[in-house]
Amino acid sequence: MRSLPSIETLRALDRAATHGSYSAAADELGLTHGAISHRIRELEERLGITLFRRAGRGMAPTREAVTLLAHVRQALAILDRAFPDHRRSDGNEALVISIHPALATRWLLPRLGSFTRTMPDVAVTIRSTADLEEFLVRGVDLAIRYGAGDWPNCTSLRLGGEIFYPVCTPEYRDRLDIRTPEDLRRCTLLRHGWQSWSNWLRAAGLRMPEPTAGLTLSDSSMLVEVASSGQGVALAGSLMVQEEIRRGRLVRLFDVRAEDIYGYHLVWQTGTVLSASALSFRSWVTDCFADTMAEITGDPAPVPMGDADPG
């Protein structure tokens, strides 16, 4: 019978590709850097291909490695499901979701009860992290991230885009008598480090430069809180301020809106066979996002489209 590479060797390949680092893979698997290097070299000699190349300070999988990884991860996922080590002692199935803290607090968590009520036997764990790269570490089933949807070694299902518009407190609006977009010239414009005002200003027909003075926040939740304290006008994403607008803490100033080229995506490792609970969550979160955007825009919820691997 033809001998196959050991599971340890395949996991070394998987972790090295995920982290882009032999050292990080070694730390996670409890091995040495030399042991990871040896296992990768063993695979390369066996297959007659190069699996990794230097990329800055790290290692990047080659095209051949990415093809191989899709099969390896599918095989590892099947084995993990056959011999699970992530089940709780009470027999409930575990589901681990990675999500950015701001989106978790302001959108997912207030709605998650509708999922857990329909899936009472699933033990859901939410891992909130702002790390945009290493979010699919071992033990995480699915992640929700904002971006272009082209993360390496990942399959992504686009949930939808985001809508941006200016918001402030009713008191700030009335005090500065903000009636038209031109009135923003007299306002303090609060900024997010990754979201410029330029697209919205262009959509509003305002010839204003990107604001450079004042406060810049690196987190959407902080941006919303500063705006809610009456310190200025924030260009905010609709999901981040939906509840504040509903409660009257913030008001949307104008009908003009800007839609980002990026969007929210549900992400999982390429080649992973999704569990029944992960598939249920994927269906639920897709519908939930569509319902939320329909409520925000006033348009009927569209039928979600996507060509993602059904898992």
The residue out of 48, 82, 116 marking a domain boundary is: 82
pLDDT at 82: 64
Question: Residue 218 — very low, low, confident or very high, per pLDDT cuts 50/70/90?
Answer: confident
165-177 confidence digits (pLDDT tens)? 999 999 999 999 9
For the chain, how long is the longest CA-to-CA vector? 81
Would 103 be classed as within a structural domain? yes
> Are 167 and 231 found together in one domain?
yes
Rounded mean pLDDT, 233-240: 94
Confidence of residue 138 (pLDDT cuts 50, 70, 90): low
Residues of the chain with pLDDT > 90: what percent? Answer: 47
Q: Read off the pLDDT of each residue in 298-307 and give the average, rounded to a whole number.
A: 44
Asked whether the whole model's pTM tops 0.85, one would answer no
Q: Which residues pair with 217 in a beta bridge?
A: 192
**Residue 310 resides in a domain:** no
Shared-domain flag, residues 110 and 179: no
What sign does the CA torsion over 262, 263, 264, 267 have? negative
The pLDDT of residue 238 = 93
Domain assignment present for residue 88? The answer is no
Examine the pLDDT at 123 and tell me if it is beyond 60.
Answer: yes
* pLDDT of res. 137: 66
Q: What is the pLDDT of residue 212?
A: 84
* 253 and 283 housed in the same domain: no
Residue 230 has pLDDT above 70, yes or no: yes
Residue 47 sits in a domain whose CATH number is 1.10.10.10
Do 155 and 265 sit in the same domain of this protein? Answer: yes
In a domain, 13, yes or no: yes
Angstrom distance (rounded) from CA 118 to CA 132? 30
Q: Is the pLDDT of residue 305 over 60?
A: no
Please say which residue of 82, 117, 141 terminates a domain.
82
Task: Indicate the pLDDT class of residue 310, thresholds 50, 70 and 90.
Answer: very low
Please provide residue 244's backbone torsions phi and psi, each rounded to the nearest 5 degrees. Answer: -65, -40
Angle at 37 between CA 33 and CA 43, to 5 degrees: 150
Q: Is the pLDDT of residue 190 over 90?
A: yes
Is the domain of 127 the same as that of 198? no
CATH number at residue 119: 3.40.190.10
Rg (CA), the chain: 23
**Taking 60 as the threshold, does the pLDDT of residue 299 lie above it?**
no
305 assigned to some structural domain = no
Q: What is the pLDDT of residue 133?
A: 57
- pLDDT value at residue 307: 36
Domain identity same for 65 and 121: no
Output helix, strand, coil percentages for the chain, rounded to the nearest 5. Answer: 40, 20, 35
Residue 201 and residue 276 in contact, taking contact as beta carbons nearer than 8 Å: no
Q: What percent of the chain clears pLDDT 70, i.e. is strictly above it? A: 88
Q: Which residues of 108-126 are buried (b: 16+ CB within 10 A; e: fewer)?
A: beeebeebeeebeebbbee
Which pLDDT does position 136 carry in this prediction? 66
Q: What confidence score (pLDDT) does residue 265 get?
A: 95
Q: Which domain holds residue 291?
A: 93-160+261-297
pLDDT for the residue 311 = 32
Last residue of a domain, which of 32, 51, 82? 82
Same structural domain, 195 and 284: no
Residues 199 and 283 in one domain: no
What pLDDT does 288 receive?
95
What is the average pLDDT across 35-61?
Answer: 89
Identify the pLDDT of residue 89: 43
Q: How many domains does the chain have?
A: 3
Clarify whether residues 214 and 242 are in a common domain: yes
In a domain, 56, yes or no: yes
Is the pLDDT score of 45 beyond 60?
yes
The answer to whether residues 133 and 218 belong to one domain is no
The candidate with the shortest Cα–Cα distance to 39, out of 70, 4, 6, is: 6
For every residue of 123-143, DSSP letters joined together read EEEEEE---SSS-S-TT--EE
Domain co-membership, 121 together with 61? no
Write the burial class of residue 131 (CB in 10 Å: 0-12 exposed, 13-18 middle, 19+ buried). Answer: exposed
Residue 295 CA to residue 257 CA, distance in Å, equals 15
Question: Is 231 inside a domain boundary?
Answer: yes
Residues 244 and 174 in one domain: yes
- Average pLDDT for residues 263-275, to the nearest whole number? 88
Position 38 confidence tier, pLDDT thresholds 50, 70, 90: very high
Across the chain, mean pLDDT equals: 85
